Amino acid sequence: MSNIKKAFRNGKAFIAFLTCGDPDVETTAAAVRAAADSGADLIELGIPFSDPTAEGPVIQGANIRALRGGITMDKVFELVRDLRRDVKIPLVFMTYANVIFSYGAVRFISACRDIGIDGLILPDLPFEEKDEFQPICRRYGVDLISLIAPTSNDRIAMIAKEAEGFVYIVSSLGVTGTRSEISTDLYPIVRAVRENTDIPCAIGFGISTPEQAKKMSDIADGAIVGSAIVKLLEKYGRDAPRYIGEYVKSMKRAME
């Protein structure tokens, strides 16, 4: 069993996103531990990038703060090594293809295996170009997680059949960010995914309230929340982990 699948074994999965190094590495580590201790089933760790094309202003701001604070790839890897001393839930990186190309794909993905990263999300990697990374990911046991958007249409079955870890369903067109309402009809997308794979699927982009998390987890196998958590880091800085723990508990409770 993929380690990522373990996140979905005990009911609906709550997936939390944090940007590494925002506002500093120590706060990221404390926030990850707070989220894990409060019921998060899987955590996405965003690797800061100067041109995060899938991100809205909230997570763009986190990238800028982390980069200004001196975050580097080696510091990100050290962060994960430290977390893996006691954080047992699945961890995945969310980043962009250029980050991996710059570091060296084999070097990057083999390092993921060595430090305990279970999967990789690359929102700018088209399905048709995934062979740039998938053979290397398979060699080192790192799941390359597929994204399906409302515009995927007749490509959904094709993407789902080759999915690994979990399928990331993008709830809305546009970039990440909290939304007052998610109006996309996601039922047909989830149904098409389930007709073509037994890999679990989770919905992300725009989820911020317990009510939204409940609604999305009723449709799919889990809910992904990023911008709402990053807003807590922006607001509370080094004091944010306590608030993140409380927030994760409220979201997880709503999904039970």
Percent of the chain with pLDDT over 70: 93
For the chain, the average pLDDT equals 91
Residue 154 class from Cβ within 10 Å (0-12 exposed, 13-18 middle, 19+ buried)? exposed
| Tens of pLDDT, residues 74-130 | 999 999 999 999 999 999 999 999 999 999 999 999 999 999 999 999 999 989 999
| Tens of pLDDT, residues 133-166 | 999 999 999 999 999 988 887 899 999 999 999 9
pLDDT (0 to 100) of residue 153: 79
Name the residue range of residue 243's domain.
12-251
pTM assigned to the model? 0.93
Structural domain total, the chain: 1
Residue 6 lies in a domain: no
Residue 1 lies in a domain: no
| Tens of pLDDT, residues 177-196 | 443 445 467 899 999 999 99
CATH number at residue 170: 3.20.20.70
Residue 154 lies in a domain: yes
Q: Is the pLDDT of residue 176 over 90?
A: no
CA distance 72 to 7: 28
Residue 4 lies in a domain: no
pLDDT (0 to 100) of residue 154: 84
Token pair of 3 as six digits: 């380690």
Name the residue with higher pLDDT: 79 or 11.
79
Residue 256 lies in a domain: no
